[in-house]
Amino acid sequence: GQQLNQSPQSMFIQEGEDVSMNCTSSSIFNTWLWYKQDPGEGPVLLIALYKAGELTSNGRLTAQFGITRKDSFLNISASIPSDVGIYFCAGRYNTNAGKSTFGDGTTLTVKP
């Protein structure tokens, strides 16, 4: 089956620093999604990418759909304490209909 490798597994940064995380797949996807999960809550969709090469921003967040369709990147600029949480990537391929494959998550800690 499809495998997603998300890295890094965890990050400890100072407030104000930029953050970068990525996901790579063993096979191609048609859609990449990035979610954030706060403690005790469900994942919340941050950015959706539908086209290879696409670069999309949502405030201080920027995500890119890799040209090979096997990877995606999420960058957070000027981190703030509320950015703390677990970030998940998810990929989908059309033939899997509604099914998404999730990465294992990147746990972000921001020190004030």
Partner 1 sequence: DAGVIQSPRHEVTEMGQEVTLRCKPISGHNSLFWYRQTMMRGLELLIYFNNNVPIDDSGMPEDRFSAKMPNASFSTLKIQPSEPRDSAVYFCASSLRDTYEQYFGPGTRLTVT
Task: Report the residue number, 5 or 18, with the smaller CB distance to partner 1.
Answer: 5
Interface positions with partner 1 (CB under 8 A): 31, 33, 35, 40-45, 48, 50, 88, 92, 97-100, 102-105
Which residue lies nearer to partner 1 by CB, 54 or 104? 104
Q: Which residue, 27, 39, 35, 72, is CA-closest to 53? A: 72
Q: Rounded to 5 degrees, what angle do the CA atoms 107, 20, 100 make?
A: 65
CB 90 within 8 A of CB 100: yes
Q: Which is nearer to partner 1, 47 or 76 (CB)?
A: 47
